[in-house]
Every structure is written in C-alpha cells, then in structure tokens.
Amino acid sequence: MSVNGWLQFAIYCVVLLATVRPVGIYMARVLEGERTWLDPIFRPIERLLYKLCGVNAKAEMNWRQYAFAMLGFSAVSMLLTYAIERLQAFLPFNPQHLPNVATDLAWNTAASFTTNTNWQFYTPETTMSYLTEMAGLAIHNFFSAAVGIVVAVALVRGIKRTSSATIGNFWVDTTRSLLYILLPASIIYALLLVAQGVPQNFHAYTVAHPLEQPTQIQTIGQGPVASQESIKMLGTNGGGFFNANSAHPYENPTPFSNFIQILSIFIIPAGLTYTLGRMTGSQGHGWAVLAAMFVLFAAGFTALYWAEAHPHPLIHGAQQTATSTAPGGNMEGKEVRNGIAESALFATITTDASCGAVNGMHDSFTPLGGLVPLTNIMLGEVIFGGVGAGLYGILIFVVQAVFIAGLMVGRTPEYLGKKIESYDVKMSMLYVLIFPLVILSLTAFFVLSPTIGLSSLANQGPHGLTEILYAFTSGAGNNGSAFAGLSPNWWYNIAMGWDMLIGRFLMMLPVLALAGNLAQKKSVPPSPGTFPVDTPLFTVLLVGVVLILGALTFFPALSLGPILEHLLLQSGKLF
Amino acid sequence: MHSATHPAASAHSEHSVWLTSIRFTLVTTVLLGLAYPIAITGIAHLIFPRKAAGSLIHQNGQVIGSELLAQSFTTDRYFHPRPSAAGNGYDATSSGGSNLAQSNKALVDRIQGSINTLATENPSTPVPIDLVTTSGSGLDPDITPDAAYFQVPRIAKARKLSETSVHQLVDAHITPRQLGVLGEPRVNVLRLNLDLDKLSK
C-alpha cells in the first residue's frame, strides 16, 4: 500500500461526494416531470416518442400495470436482442463476417444484458458484430439502467404518496430517464473517452506488421467502442466491447479514463440517495442511507487494497513490494498503468455497484482479495448498487431495519410516516430470500456434477468452488463480473440465464408490490416512539442489518471457498 | 394530492401494453442503438481522427501496431513487454488474462521459472514483478520504469551501446502519474523500442 494509493482513494471520495447533491436534484426534477435545462433539445423528442409509441403521458398506473409494462418492455427488447444475435451474419455492420450466435449463448447473452448483468460467456471480438454490439447489447445498457431507475422511483413515490392507487407511468418515467439522464451524459462521456484514446469506428480489424517480426501479423480488433463504453459504465452494466473489458487499453487507455469510469459507476446510484431525500422531504434520511453505503464501500476497499498489495508467499527473487517506480504486490491480471490501488478501487466499486466491468482479473486476485468482490455482491448489491437497483435494494433493507427497531421497542414500525405492516415485511423478506435461494441451490447443483459443473473449472481446490459460487452470485446479483476462468457449456448458459432473470425480475415484483401497498396508505404523524431514520444510529443499524443478513446466509460457503484457500496458501499448499 | 380514482385501468389493457412495448423498443433502438453510436463516430472522427481509429503507428507505409497495445518482442535487442495470456500471446482479437489463481501450481511455477531465467540476465537486481506476470488484457502496452531499467544491461550489450545512454532513453520515456496523482508511472514499450532503433542508427 502506498500514500499515493490512499490519496487516489481520498480524491475519489471527495469528487463523488461533490456530485451527489447536483446530480440528485437534477434527477429528482427529471423524474418529477419538472422543467430542466435540456428541455429545449429533448422535450420535442420526448413528445415525438410518446406519439410514435402511442403513450398517453397523462395516464397513471397502479403497481400491477407498472410491473406489467416493465415486464412487457423487457421481454420484447430481450427478444429483439436474441433475434439480432441469431441473424447477425445476414445483417449490416459486420465487417469481420462473424457467424450467427449459437442458441444457448444467444439466450444467455440476451438474458444477461436485459437484466443489467452483462455476464459474458463469449469473446466479443470474435463473436459479436458491430450491429449486435450497438443495437443488440448496448441498447440494453440504456434500457436496463432506465428500468432500474424507474422501479426505484416507483418505490420512492410509494413512500411519498398517500391514499394513492397509482405509482406513476412506466413509459414516461423510462423515456425521461433515457432522454434527460442517460443519453446526454453518455454523449459527453463517450467523447471524453475518445479524447483519452478509446476507438470509435466501423472499420474492419486492422492488420499490423509488428516492429520486430513484421511477418507475424497482429490483427487488431476495432469498433464503435467509446459510445458503448460510456453507457456500459454509467448504467452499471459492465459488458465489455472486448474480452478483457476495462483492462483492455482500448476500453480504458489511461489512469484518467479509469478515474472517470469508476466515478461514473457510482454517480447515479449516489445521486439517487439525494433524490430519495428530496422526493420524500427528508434529506437527512438520504444522507443517512448514503453514509451506510459509504462505510461498507470504504471497508471493502481497505481490505481489497491491503490483500492485493501483499507479496505472494511462495514466489522468491522478485520485487513484490512497492517502490517509487513500481507498484509491486499481486500484478497477475492487472495493468501497469492502474497498478494495485486503482485496480483495487475499481474491483471494489464495480462489485459494490452491480456494474461488473473489470480492469483486472478477479480470478487471479489473492484469496482474500477475491473474497471482497464476492462479498460485495452477496450483500445484495446495495453498497451504492446498480443504477436504481441499488436504491430499491437498500430500501428493502431499510424496511427490515425499521421493522427490527420496531420489534425492539414493541411498537408497529413506521417509515417516513407510513406504518410498516405484515404485507410490507413479507414483500421485503421475499426480496431478501429469493436471492440466496437461487444462488446457493444452483451452485450446489453444479458443484455436485463432475461432468457439467466441475469440467468447466480453470482452477482446482477451494478456488474451483469459488469460481462456480462467484458465477451464480454475480448472475443473480446482476453484477456480471466473473472469476473468468470458468468456461461455458450448454448447462451453464441455460442455468445462468435463469439465474439472472430471477435475480432481476422476480426480485423487482415484490419491490413494486411494496410500492403499491405503501402508496395507498395514509400518513401517520411521527410520535415519540417513531424510530428516526436520519441519524447516525440509523446508519449503524442499517449497516448491521445488511452485514448480518449477508453473513448468516453466505458465510458457510465463503469459508469453504476463499477463506479456506487463503489458509491453505499461507501454509504452502497449491493446487 | 394523488387521488385513488385515476381512470388508469382501461388505458392499459394487455393488448396495448404489448403493442406499446414493441413500438417503444423499436423507436428507442433506432435512437440509441443506431443514431447515437453513428453520431458519436462522426463527431469523434472530426475532433480526434487518430484516436478514433485506434492510435495506430505507421512506418514505411505500413501499420506496425497501436500505441495502446502491446506486441511481441523476444530478441535481446529490444525491450520486452509483459508476458501475455491473450490468445497465443499478444492476440488483439482475443484479449484476456491467465485467470490462474494465486493457489494454482501452474501459475507459481510459471512465475518462478520466469524469475529464475531473468535473474541470470541481471543478477544484482530483484526481478520487477510486472515483468513476470501476465496483464489483465494481455495487451498491456506499458512496463514499470523498474522493469525497463532491469533490461538496460541486456540491451546495451546486444546493441553495443553504453548503459548510460540506454538508461537515459528509458528516463526520457517515463510517463508520470496522470495529473500528478492518478495511476502509476510507466513506460510505453513500443514507443521506447522505436526510439531505441533511432538511437542505434
């Protein structure tokens, strides 16, 4: 660990915190349908879009209609992606003449991008045409981010509204999220990335004649990278244009591009906590939620940075500690320009949020270094979390926290003026339980099968278990990062497709049901027995609930994976 | 205040939801999946033509590679990049890392083997760890300044140059931390080798 490494972390935190309020206010204005400074450009496009799609922008929806529209849109757009993948050989923007994508991989990938996961069981350079990347995959980087935002906003409206049957209009919320938040930010961001060196073209791959051996040709993958890279990060999607993702110098060429990438992962989820405070009229609550996220984020970074800066115990004769001109530490799977600190920071942030882009290979992290990203996802993707998904996820834990506080004092719990009753707690418990159920049962199934499960492993011993556990955790958490040694087969493609769809849509339904139920309640004035949700005590309770639920569920599996691997490695055991 | 009597239900029958979904998907795909990337491509080519095309380096009318991507160097006359796990090595259509675990015997044996080989080249200096580990992309264009200094004696000998002049060339190629604080100091191997050829002439 170095002073400069910690300085980079400090700068990151300061810049992020400075964005929270302006971003939060702007998003609240967009989502409440108020005027923004982008109205002159986007308001006419917005109206045209409603007209072309037959949307009645004035109609309000109850939670069932809202959920049905969300599911309908997701299903149709997923089908479009599947069709483009299966037909790409016959479609334009395919200068490498790549063949159609196989059925099981096309299913897995369509599910992956629709669910904001962006798990990739393929090498993009040799699998996906430019058209598939743009109109099949990158559109979901926009769509799934917008869907995350609108579900979160529907829940916030549920908290805010009283005696209301409705929670907003799905099409209006989605359109406004796309046009006023995601698209303009992506345009500026993409051009910033090109300025740093990210390519943006439709050329066929370049044939280069290397300096030392000009006859040994190097074929260089190209494409419209920057336009996809921006929304990939901003929408916490994480699906790389290239196989190496943000470790690839074409996706992430400089330390500055790396900095804006990690900033763009957290910027919307962090801003949404302010939006929550603003829309519910309790700004202190927004900050208290943000504080809980920040504590968990800082703890994760500290552990990961510490683990990766350590020398390997069984390697001798190499400079493995930091000097002023080399970062030392565990550099397997990491890039020199990022070093240890920026790699550790990226890995923490990408798994705190459900982004899943990587700038270093998690599979080659030290056992404890790899434990941190896995744990981050297992905690439910609520440490800032995915765009929108992080906010509704943490609000589920808030309901749990308020419920537990209510049990302690023996009163009906209240949350921002709403009584939290049996139905609300049931819905939030459903959300909490679906997640480990799908992860642990699928992991168990594949671990027990030598032919379809274990044959895909790249590493043996406890690390092999971690590869499978990480895959299903990443899928259900809609993260998409990987212990990428795991290679696909038909069974993994199909099972992970369901893993991701369940982790997304089955978990969104209780959220919308909760939103609908809260919206129709009357507001009760706070009493002396009300547990305040804008205090440091509340932050501590919330962190405690997240940690205890996560630890109780996943600790046994973690102890057999990364923890056991660490102990064996320290005693000199290799596999 | 929002009332409970919005006449919402009739406007959102099942039929209209599917139809709206199809129309909305198609319209937004044209906007975000085609118009947006094509527009960005146009603007990028106007403002940053070289970068938008992949920061390619030309020599004698041929593309010799990209400034941003590592390529193979194996002889004693050139600085070597980090080892690569991309395809069969430095394959810019198959980027990626080794994905070997720290507890994998194959990884430890590979790294220790490389260290033992390199140690003979410059016995007085510990081997910089980046020079014996594969990068995440397999295309890392950089090595640390330490890894460049480590190779100076070999190159000076092979090219019959003084160690001082090669050392100075490395110093001139160190890219410092961006904005003084971000990332790590580094040396671009292809740029360094191009200038090394000029130095020999």
Q: Which chain B positions have a beta carbon within 8 Å of A126's beta carbon?
A: 93-94
Q: CA of A307 to nearest chain B CA: how many angstroms apart?
A: 12
| Chain B touched by A331 (CB under 8 Å) | yes
Instruction: Give the list of residues 6+ apart from residue A132 with CB closer than 8 angstroms, or none.
Output: A84, A85, A88, A101
Q: CA of A281 to nearest chain B CA: how many angstroms apart?
A: 15
Instruction: Check: CB of residue B69 under 8 Å from CB of residue A250.
Output: yes
Q: CA of B88 to nearest chain A CA: how many angstroms apart?
A: 11
Does the distance separating the beta carbons of A49 and B11 come in below 8 Å?
no
Please state, in angstroms and rounded to a whole number, the distance separating the CA atoms of residues B194 and B79: 10
Classify the phi-psi angles of B104: left when phi > 0, otherwise alpha if psi is within -120 to 50, otherwise beta.
Answer: beta
From first to last of its 575 residues, chain A has per-residue pLDDT tens of: 899 999 999 999 999 999 999 999 999 999 999 999 999 999 999 999 999 999 999 999 999 999 999 999 999 999 999 999 999 999 999 999 999 999 999 999 999 999 999 999 999 999 999 999 999 999 999 999 999 999 999 999 999 999 999 999 999 999 999 999 999 999 999 999 999 999 999 999 999 999 999 999 999 999 999 999 999 999 999 999 999 999 999 999 999 999 999 999 999 999 999 999 999 999 999 999 999 999 999 999 999 999 999 999 999 999 999 988 899 999 999 999 999 999 999 999 999 999 999 999 999 999 999 999 999 999 999 999 999 999 999 999 999 999 999 998 888 899 999 999 999 999 999 999 999 999 999 999 999 999 999 999 999 999 999 999 999 999 999 999 999 999 999 999 999 999 999 999 999 999 999 999 999 999 999 888 789 999 999 999 999 999 999 988 999 999 999 999 999 999 999 99
Does the distance separating the beta carbons of A333 and B28 come in below 8 Å?
no
Q: Which chain B positions have a beta carbon within 8 Å of A32's beta carbon?
A: none
pLDDT of residue A551: 87
In A155-228, the DSSP E strands lie at 206-208, 218-220
Q: CA of B19 to nearest chain A CA: how many angstroms apart?
A: 8
- Picking from B102, B130, B134, B127, the residue whose alpha carbon sits closest to that of residue A339 is B130
Q: Which chain B positions have a beta carbon within 8 Å of A328's beta carbon?
A: 129
Question: Which H helix or E strand runs over A256?
Answer: helix A255-280
Residue listed under structure tokens 């941190």:
A372
Looking at the predicted structure, is the pLDDT value of residue B130 above 80? yes
Q: CA of A368 to nearest chain B CA: how many angstroms apart?
A: 11
Residue pLDDT, tens place only, B31-56: 999 999 999 999 999 999 999 999 99
Q: Which two tokens stand for residue A478?
A: 């809609």
Q: Considering only alpha carbons, which residue of chain A is nearest residue B78?
A: A212
Does the distance separating the beta carbons of A328 and B5 come in below 8 Å?
no
Does the distance separating the beta carbons of A332 and B102 come in below 8 Å?
yes
> Which of B39, B53, B182 is nearest residue A8 as measured by Cβ atoms?
B182
Q: Cβ–Cβ contacts within 10 Å for residue A311, how many?
A: 16
| Chain B touched by A69 (CB under 8 Å) | yes
In chain B, pLDDT over 90 holds for what percent of residues? 91
Three-class SS of A422-487: HHHHHHHHHHHHHHHHHHHHHHHHHHCCCCCCHHHCCCCCHHHHHHHHHHHHHHHCCCCCCCCCCC
pLDDT of residue B13: 61
- How do the domains of chain A map onto residue ranges? 387-570
pLDDT of residue B14: 62
Q: Considering only alpha carbons, which residue of chain B is nearest residue A240?
A: B95
Its pTM stands at 0.96
Please state, in angstroms and rounded to a whole number, the distance separating the CA atoms of residues A116 and A144: 5
| Chain B touched by A214 (CB under 8 Å) | yes
Residue pLDDT, tens place only, B156-193: 999 999 999 999 999 999 999 999 999 999 999 999 99
Question: Which H helix or E strand runs over B59?
Answer: strand B56-59
- How do the domains of chain B map onto residue ranges? 65-200
Residue pLDDT, tens place only, B75-101: 999 999 999 999 999 999 999 999 999
Q: Coil, strand, or helix at residue A171?
A: helix
Mutate to test the interface with B, among A120, A141, A218, A241 (most CBs of B within 10 A): A218
Mutate to test the interface with A, among B28, B48, B109, B143 (most CBs of A within 10 A): B28
Question: For chains A and B, what is the number of CB pairs under 8 angstroms?
Answer: 443
Does the distance separating the beta carbons of A200 and B44 come in below 8 Å?
yes
Q: CA of A407 to nearest chain B CA: how many angstroms apart?
A: 31
Instruction: Check: CB of residue A434 under 8 Å from CB of residue A502.
Output: yes
> Which of A164, A183, A325 is nearest residue B32 as measured by Cβ atoms?
A183
- Picking from A491, A494, A205, the residue whose alpha carbon sits closest to that of residue B54 is A205
